Amino acid sequence: MSARPKSIVILTGAGISAESGIDTFRDAGGLWERHSVYDIATPEGFARDPDLVLRFYDERRAGLAKVEPNAAHLALGRLEAEFAGDLLLVTQNVDDLHERGGFVDVCHMHGELRSALCTSCGTRSPWEGPMRDRPPCPVCKAPTLRPDVVWFGEMPYHMDRIEDALAACDLFVSIGTSGAVYPAAGFVSQARAMGTRTLELNLEPSEGTAIFHQARHGAASRLVPEWVEEVLKG
Ligand code: NAD
């Protein structure tokens, strides 16, 4: 990663928030050990048992009050403030730790816990409290809110913006993601196909490690601040 990048796309996953105390999905002890993905992260699961799904995301939303951004989130916030080139931060995370770490323009491709989606009028509204008691949509008043989270089988948000940035960047960096969930898992191949340098920062080799030009393995709270320092020093 020697040449100074002019345009960077960063993709983050659950691993960047792990040291803040938010469970990842796939690691031992992660969310999927205790819940079936089909029950809590598909439209079919929601149709089958909405109470379970609303409760699950209510708990995750309430849990945000008990966690803080870690050194990796803070370092990316610093990067956005100080990097002179183009920068897009795409996160698969539905938490708000990037924002609380100082990053302003976060591209949440899988939605956000602190947002509600009305299944009647389609409006996305900022949301803080629970949904399990079926509160009315702030816009159309129908009691038909669901978590504004992209489930399996649904289209991620902001794909046009992400595709444009991937086509234009000269460095793609993947942080704390297992490389198992598409389309995000395909970004590294798309970037490489355009001749873009690619770097993985992850606790351990991910499913896509071999595709990256370079991989560094360790905790995000150490690797990310080190990498940001490198970029800003040039
Ligand atoms: P994942 O659980 O599949 O993978 C997490 C990756 O992070 C693993 O490769 C693991 O080795 C790595 N990791 C764990 N601790 C780390 C650390 N301290 N430093 C660096 N890397 C670390 O998560 P994913 O790839 O994001 O995909 C799963 C889906 O789960 C995503 O779609 C996402 O929307 C959702 N999710 C989000 C959150 C959140 O918002 N914080 C939490 C769990 C799951």
CATH superfamily of domain region 23-66+115-149? SIR2/SIRT2 'Small Domain' (3.30.1600.10)
Catalytic site includes residue 213: no
Beta bridge partners, 175, equal: 12, 201
Ligand 1 centroid to 85 CA: how many Å?
27
> How high is the mean pLDDT of the chain?
95
Ligand 1 centroid to 153 CA: how many Å?
19
Ligand 1 centroid to 116 CA: how many Å?
22
Q: Is 178 a residue whose pLDDT tops 90? A: yes
Regarding the beta carbon of 92 and ligand 1, being less than 6 Å apart is answered: yes
Task: Pick the residue whose CA is nearest to atom 43 on ligand 1.
Answer: 24
Per-residue pLDDT tens digits for 76-120: 999 999 999 999 999 999 999 999 999 999 999 999 999 999 999
Regarding the beta carbon of 94 and ligand 1, being less than 6 Å apart is answered: yes
Structure confidence at residue 182 (pLDDT): 94
- Domain-wise residue ranges, the chain: 1-22+69-110+156-234, 23-66+115-149
Structure confidence at residue 4 (pLDDT): 87
**Catalytic member of 35, 110, 158, 213:** 110
Average pLDDT over residues 43-64: 96
Average pLDDT over residues 41-45: 96
Ligand 1 atom nearest to 113, measured from its CA:
40
Structure confidence at residue 2 (pLDDT): 53
Average pLDDT over residues 134-140: 98
Ligand 1 centroid to 78 CA: how many Å?
22
Per-residue pLDDT tens digits for 193-220: 999 999 999 999 998 999 999 999 999 9
Q: Is 184 a residue whose pLDDT tops 90? A: yes
The CA-atom distances, in angstroms, between 37 and each of 31, 52, 56, 152 are: 9, 12, 12, 9
Lowest mean pLDDT among 19-33, 40-54, 110-124, 190-204: 19-33
Smallest CA-to-CA distance from 120 within 92, 143, 102, 87 is with 143
Regarding the beta carbon of 171 and ligand 1, being less than 6 Å apart is answered: no
Regarding the beta carbon of 15 and ligand 1, being less than 6 Å apart is answered: yes
Q: How far apart are CA 91 and CA 226, in angstroms?
A: 20
Structure confidence at residue 166 (pLDDT): 98
Structure confidence at residue 36 (pLDDT): 86
Regarding the beta carbon of 180 and ligand 1, being less than 6 Å apart is answered: yes
- Residues ≥6 apart with Cβ < 8 Å to 35: 56
Structure confidence at residue 34 (pLDDT): 76
| Domains 1-22+69-110+156-234 and 23-66+115-149 alike in fold | no
Q: Is 162 a residue whose pLDDT tops 80? A: yes
Q: Which CATH code is given to the segment(s) 1-22+69-110+156-234?
A: 3.40.50.1220
Smallest CA-to-CA distance from 207 within 182, 170, 172, 190 is with 182
Structure confidence at residue 194 (pLDDT): 94
Task: Pick the residue whose CA is nearest to atom 6 on ligand 1.
Answer: 177
> Which of 20, 24, 99, 162, when mutated, tests ligand 1's pocket best, judged by the most ligand atoms within 8 Å of its CB?
24
DSSP 81: H
Ligand 1 centroid to 113 CA: how many Å?
15
Structure confidence at residue 68 (pLDDT): 98
